Amino acid sequence: MPTPVPPPERRPRASLLRLLLLAPFVGVLWVSSYNSLTPALGGIPFFYWYQLLWVVIAAVLTAFVYFAER
Amino acid sequence: MRWTAAIVCVALFVLITALGFMAARWRRGDLALLHEWGLGGRRFGTFIAWFLIGGDLYTAYTFIAIPALIYGAGAIGFFAIPYTILVYPILYVVFPRLWAVCNRHGYVTTADFVRGRFGNGWLALAVAITGIIATMPYIALQLVGIQVVIGALGVVGHGVLHDLPLIVAFVILAAFTYTSGLRAPAMIAVVKDVLIYIAVIAAVIVVPIELGGYGKIFAAVPAAKLILAGPKGPTLGSYGAYATLALGSALALFLYPHSATGILSAQNGGVIRRNAAMLPAYSFLLGLIALLGFMAIAAGIAKSPEFADGFKQYGPSYAVPALFLATFPGWFTGIAFAAIAIGALVPAAIMSIATANLFTRNIYREFIKRDCTAGEETAMAKLISLVVKLGALFFVIFLPLTYAVQFQLLGGIWIIQTLPAVMIALYTRFLNGWALLIGWLCGIVSGTWMAASLHFRGSIFVIHLFGTAIPGYAALWSLIINIVVSFVLSAVLNTLASDRHKDATAMKDYA
């Protein structure tokens, strides 16, 4: 079986910072905390903009952990 | 027939067909080797992987079905957003390990990994068959995306003539997948995503302006559709359904063969970690697309006689195409529709490649022809990729659409049962191969039973715990049964007949 040679890469150190990645789970699985129309943002009900905001927060947290572990 | 839109659409289709065939020569490799044909030589860097995995996960079906669900059922359809939020922390932490061990040992499929980890061909067979069966209806649903677009372009006809455009699109897809392997969808994904981003960004700016702002759009939607119905009495109500659908779907996503294929084609683990931070851009896009469902309600397109036929034929799936037709000039609608149609080809190609890899590696080479050469292996995979697509095409043309939808729903319940053998096994060798196989069986049977008790119409199964009713995603409940059985039986089997000596992988392979 041909085994491709992996390109050299710095191995990340798995760190406690990864606990930050649990935050999105709390943020979006606790549904009763955000199932509401208000406060609306630019006409968009809370339910929708809150979850879209978590898309951004989760991405930023992941990027932060990535750079911290490099 | 909407000629301008149709001509733009066909022109873009011709362009990506040419790209698909040219892809064979891109980052040239020996396409007679399975990891070259089926994983693009594991050479995709951060940028290409972003387009490839993005095009792989956020399919044409997603882009049609999610706003259709919002349009028809309201807030519950937004579960796709928490689902795609939770996917990426899991991707970041778990899947670079899978990539590392697969790269070290030349594994092409998750079932290859299971075979190596447990030395158990039958467990690998279970993982492979689950993957194949869960993916087949998914490919069929991609075709539905193309069908809706073709219908919206005003192509009418009866019998074979009606299905001809779909058949042509699929023959093209089959041909370039056969010749170019995974390189074809990777190259096409770049074009397709540029088109999708243009179409969606234009839609979320132009449509609200025409409708008088987001405030007016949401005001036009019936209040009951805007948020979830809160629980009344001793039940978690729709909160339980919403949260478990998101979590269960997130856990299942990277167990699907096409997602795994996308990940394993990455150049290194860093590409996967970087993409865990970059792919949420697609989730944000999906959120905006989901809101198109509400815009379709506010625009009142259901009442427009122009679209009555379309809605009659395709149901809520017609909402977004109709919204585009009502809002944009023909040429721009053509671009948007091409994005959806091409958006179906990318995942369909990757899914058929992933299925072919599984069949070839874990069924053909394991049970039928053990001594096949690398060339024979790849030839078989290419052939299977054709068979799989032909199967999907027959499915869509000859069977009612509800079958594909119901099978896909079951597919989600089935694929999650491979989680212990694939994901938990990346961290511990406590589990025993035979225990996992029995756990898998318990999960499949209990999950299917739950879906059957719902007459295959939904996947929210209510369990009663300490006097509280907890509605939840059947996949998650059956996974819990699977995990408990796997661990308890492993504890027993490890003392009676341990299979740990069969592990072909070592601790250092996972870092």
What is the three-class DSSP state of B55? helix
Q: Best-predicted range by mean pLDDT among B103-107, B327-331, B374-378?
A: B103-107
Phi, psi of A44 (to 5 degrees): -90, 125
CATH code assigned at B178? 1.20.1730.10
With beta carbons under 8 A apart, name residues in chain A contacting B284.
Answer: 52, 55-56
Q: Which residue has the higher pLDDT, B373 or B419?
A: B419
What's the domain count of chain A? 1
Q: Is residue B445 part of a domain?
A: no
How sure is the predictor about B354, in pLDDT bands with cuts at 50, 70 and 90?
A: very high
- Smallest CA-to-CA distance from B170 within B358, B360, B378, B13 is with B13
Contact call for residues B195 and B62 (beta carbons, < 8 A): no
- Smallest CA-to-CA distance from B417 within B139, B98, B126 is with B126
- pLDDT at B147 (0 to 100): 83
- pLDDT at A13 (0 to 100): 65
Whether chain B has a CB inside 8 Å of the CB on A1: the answer is yes
Name the residue among B88, B247, B291 with its Cβ closest to that of A48: B291
**At residue A3, does pLDDT exceed 70?**
no
Contact call for residues B29 and B359 (beta carbons, < 8 A): no
Q: Which residue of B has its CA nearest to A43?
A: B215
Name the residue among B33, B41, B88 with its Cβ closest to that of A58: B88
- Nearest CA to CA, how far is B208 from chain A (Å)? 11
Residue B316 CA to residue B110 CA, distance in Å, equals 36
How sure is the predictor about B137, in pLDDT bands with cuts at 50, 70 and 90?
A: confident
Residue B111 CA to residue B128 CA, distance in Å, equals 6
Tell me the per-residue pLDDT of B419-476, one tens digit each, with 9 for 90 and over.
999 999 999 999 999 999 999 999 999 999 999 999 888 888 888 888 888 889 999 9
Q: Is residue A8 part of a domain?
A: no
Q: Is residue B477 part of a domain?
A: no
Q: Is residue B368 part of a domain?
A: yes
Tell me the per-residue pLDDT of B467-503, one tens digit each, with 9 for 90 and over.
888 889 999 999 999 999 999 999 999 999 888 888 8
Q: In the Cβ-directed half-sphere of B353, how many Cα atoms lie within 13 Å? A: 35
Tell me the per-residue pLDDT of B299-328, one tens digit each, with 9 for 90 and over.
888 888 888 888 888 888 889 899 999 888
Residue B33 CA to residue B35 CA, distance in Å, equals 6
Contact call for residues B411 and B248 (beta carbons, < 8 A): no
Tell me the per-residue pLDDT of B214-248, one tens digit each, with 9 for 90 and over.
999 999 999 889 999 888 777 777 898 899 999 99
Residue of A5, A18, A30, A35 to mutate for B, most B C-beta atoms under 10 A = A35
What is the three-class DSSP state of B104? helix
Residue A15 CA to residue A28 CA, distance in Å, equals 24
- Nearest CA to CA, how far is A57 from chain B (Å)? 9
Q: What is the DSSP letter of B40?
A: G
Q: Is residue B442 part of a domain?
A: no
- Nearest CA to CA, how far is B342 from chain A (Å)? 26
- pLDDT at B435 (0 to 100): 96
- Smallest CA-to-CA distance from B357 within B107, B28, B179 is with B107
- pLDDT at B355 (0 to 100): 94
- Angle, to 10 degrees, between the axis of helix B474-496 and the axis of helix B433-453? 160
Tell me the per-residue pLDDT of B335-351, one tens digit each, with 9 for 90 and over.
988 888 888 888 999 99
Q: Is residue B38 part of a domain?
A: yes
Q: Is residue B434 part of a domain?
A: no
Token pair, residue A52, equals: 């879209």
Place of tokens 């697969």: B102
CB pair distance less than 8 Å for A7 and B78:
no
**At residue A10, does pLDDT exceed 80?**
no
Phi, psi of B153 (to 5 degrees): -75, -10
Residue B125 CA to residue B358 CA, distance in Å, equals 9
How sure is the predictor about A2, in pLDDT bands with cuts at 50, 70 and 90?
A: low
Q: Is residue A7 part of a domain?
A: no
Name the residue among A4, A12, A35 with its Cβ closest to that of B103: A4
Token pair, residue A65, equals: 């952990």
What's the domain count of chain B? 1
Mean pLDDT across the stretch B386-412?
84
- pLDDT at B460 (0 to 100): 87
Helix, strand, coil abundance in chain A, percent, nearest 5: 60, 5, 40
- pLDDT at B25 (0 to 100): 80
CB pair distance less than 8 Å for B41 and A1:
no
**At residue B192, does pLDDT exceed 80?**
yes
Tell me the per-residue pLDDT of B111-127, one tens digit each, with 9 for 90 and over.
999 999 999 999 999 99
CB pair distance less than 8 Å for A62 and B277:
yes
Residue B373 CA to residue B370 CA, distance in Å, equals 9
Q: Is residue A15 part of a domain?
A: no
- Nearest CA to CA, how far is B53 from chain A (Å)? 16
Q: Is residue A5 part of a domain?
A: no
Name the residue among A2, A11, A66 with its Cβ closest to that of B35: A2
Tell me the per-residue pLDDT of B7-57, one tens digit each, with 9 for 90 and over.
888 888 888 888 888 887 877 788 888 888 988 888 899 989 999 999 888
Q: Which residue of A has its CA nearest to B229?
A: A35
Mean pLDDT across the stretch A3-25?
73
Name the residue among A3, A30, A54 with its Cβ closest to that of B85: A54
With beta carbons under 8 A apart, name residues in chain B contacting A31.
Answer: 228, 239, 242-243
What is the three-class DSSP state of B266? strand
| Neighbouring C-beta atoms of residue B402, cutoff 10 Å | 10
- What are the distances in angstroms from CA B71 to CA A66, B74, B299, B301, B473? 37, 6, 12, 11, 22
Q: Is residue A37 part of a domain?
A: yes
Q: Which residue of B has its CA nearest to A36?
A: B227
Whether chain B has a CB inside 8 Å of the CB on A53: the answer is no
With beta carbons under 8 A apart, name residues in chain A contacting B40.
Answer: none
**At residue A12, does pLDDT exceed 70?**
no
**At residue A6, does pLDDT exceed 80?**
no
Contact call for residues B443 and B479 (beta carbons, < 8 A): yes
Q: Is residue B234 part of a domain?
A: yes
Q: Which residue has the higher pLDDT, B88 or B14?
A: B88
Q: Can you give the residue range of the structural domain that contains A46? A: 24-69
Q: Can you give the residue range of the structural domain that contains B402? A: 3-408
Tell me the per-residue pLDDT of B278-292, one tens digit each, with 9 for 90 and over.
999 999 999 999 999
Residue B52 CA to residue B24 CA, distance in Å, equals 16
- pLDDT at B485 (0 to 100): 97
- Smallest CA-to-CA distance from B197 within B80, B271, B281, B272 is with B281
Q: Is the peptide bond before A39 cis (omega within 30 degrees of 0)?
A: yes
